[in-house]
């Protein structure tokens, strides 16, 4: 049976940005809910180990996710499981968030931290060995493969740039591309072709990811799209950069975004819709790391609290029993 909930702040997504926002919103005595389709953590749950979050020289992704969740709960943030279908702004300037189960949430502010989804190859072994050699983040996981042979899949700016970055660690990087020319910018191509540690494998698709007896990647099955010839590549890691899809389709109505669909915000993380904030991977920005996501979440929650205070000060809002504000 569907239910209706009333909150001061609704946070869509329980990744680092969402849980940080939930912690700060809770500290501000706002009635806060974080809605997540699965377990809390977002991309942290797809990362075996993290070594670039200050204060933790090495921590498992699931462990850091649990710490984020516990911290947010300590300050009162509630966690609800559900698939958000739509986020819409109503005529009274409040928001309505509807989930797949039929549950409806109302609040004067919403923080979108739904992140994005790396586009997958969809080949056998890719999902099975994610975090065990299959990765979608060079900065996150490159350091685990010092002295290894690494494969990068893609042909755009991200694939070219990350191939170059990965040569800091790998002895050899193979860039696998399905066409006979790259889509990357000329300056990135120049840098790539001049790097002696990078070799491009043209007109080729990855057909299968294979692993050793311990479940770690040790071979890629390849197929040339022009000749049909099959081959093996003895790589211990495969980094996939064929695109990244921000989860912004849940927002009803127009909201400003860049050419890739990432939400545009001001310095307070507020979007072009009043009262709608965005943080983390869903937002247009230079880097997408746990640290930047946490910073975004902090700013968004504090800005949301100030937005709610402005409603109160302008006599539009009213104080509710939770200590927060509702229109």
Q: Is there a contact between 95 and 284 (Cβ–Cβ < 8 Å)?
A: no
Residue 62, CA distances (Å) to 15, 44, 234, 239, 307 in order: 11, 6, 29, 21, 33
213: alpha, beta or left, given left = phi > 0 and alpha = psi -120 to 50? Answer: alpha
Q: Would you state the structure tokens that stand for residue 235, as one six-digit string?
A: 């790589």
| Of 245, 198, 276, 257, residue with least CA distance to 12 | 276
Choose, from 8, 63, 92, 137, the residue flagged as catalytic.
137
Bridge-based pairing of strands 104-107 and 95-99 is antiparallel
Nearest to 297 by CA among 13, 22, 87: 22
Q: Which listed residue (141, 164, 281, 296) is catalytic?
A: 141
> Which one of the listed residues 63, 92, 103, 140 is annotated catalytic?
140
Q: Is residue 258 annotated as part of the catalytic site, yes or no?
A: no
Is 52 annotated as catalytic? no
Active site members: 137, 140-141
């Amino acid at each position: 049976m569907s239910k209706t909930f009333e909150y001061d702040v609704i946070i869509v997504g329980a990744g680092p940005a969402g849980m940080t926002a939930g912690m700060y919103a809770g500290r501000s005595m706002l009635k806060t809910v974080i809605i997540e389709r699965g377990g809390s953590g977002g991309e942290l749950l797809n990362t075996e180990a993290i070594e670039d979050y200050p204060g933790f020289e090495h921590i498992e992704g699931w462990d850091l996710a649990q710490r984020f969740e516990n911290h947010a709960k300590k300050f009162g943030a509630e966690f609800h499981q559900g698939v958000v279908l739509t986020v819409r702004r109503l005529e009274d300037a409040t928001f309505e968030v509807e989930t797949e189960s039929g549950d409806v949430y109302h609040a004067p502010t919403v923080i979108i931290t739904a992140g994005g989804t790396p586009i997958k190859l969809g080949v056998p072994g890719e999902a099975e060995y994610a975090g065990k050699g299959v990765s979608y983040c060079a900065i996150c996981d490159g350091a685990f493969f010092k002295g290894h042979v690494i494969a990068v899949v893609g042909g755009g700016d991200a694939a070219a740039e990350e191939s170059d970055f990965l040569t800091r660690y790998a002895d050899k990087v193979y860039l696998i591309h399905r066409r006979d020319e790259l889509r990357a910018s000329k300056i990135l191509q120049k840098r790539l072709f001049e790097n002696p540690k990078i070799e491009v494998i043209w007109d080729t698709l990855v057909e299968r990811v294979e692993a050793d007896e311990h479940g770690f990647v040790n071979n890629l099955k390849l197929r040339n799209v022009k000749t049909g010839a099959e081959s093996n590549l003895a790589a211990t890691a495969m980094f996939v950069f064929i695109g990244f899809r921000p989860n912004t389709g849940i927002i009803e109505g127009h909201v400003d975004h860049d050419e890739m669909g990432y939400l545009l915000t001001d310095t307070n993380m507020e979007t072009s819709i009043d009262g709608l904030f965005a943080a983390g991977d869903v937002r247009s920005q230079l880097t997408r790391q746990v640290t930047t996501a946490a910073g975004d979440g902090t700013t968004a929650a504090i800005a949301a609290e100030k937005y709610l205070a402005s409603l109160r000060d302008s006599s539009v809002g009213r104080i509710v029993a939770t200590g927060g504000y509702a229109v």
